[in-house]
Amino acid sequence: MKEGSPRLIRRWMTCTIRAVAVLSVLLVSGSRSAVAEAIRISGTGGAMETMRILGEAFRKTHPDTRIVLFQGMGSSGGIKATLAG
């Protein structure tokens, strides 16, 4: 599969949209009674910059929550990590 192929771009966009949706829910939740000690985020390398920006925004409203970004591990690595917990 060539770099920048429509299929690759569609996969990247799907992963990014899903990750943005999850973090958006976390950003607006605002519940102080269910504060996590840490939120661990990993995924495709291309989406990690977006996750970093969203994580910083989340920390502004939830300073007690630590955001841990792991190095991008590709789509299949992200799926395996999710399944493993």
**80 pLDDT more than 70:** yes
pLDDT value at residue 29 = 65
Average per-residue pLDDT in the chain? 75
pLDDT tens sequence across 19-55: 877 777 777 666 555 555 788 877 667 777 888 888 8
Query: Could you tell me if residue 30 is left (phi over 0), alpha (psi between -120 and 50 degrees) or otherwise beta?
Result: left
pLDDT value at residue 4 = 61
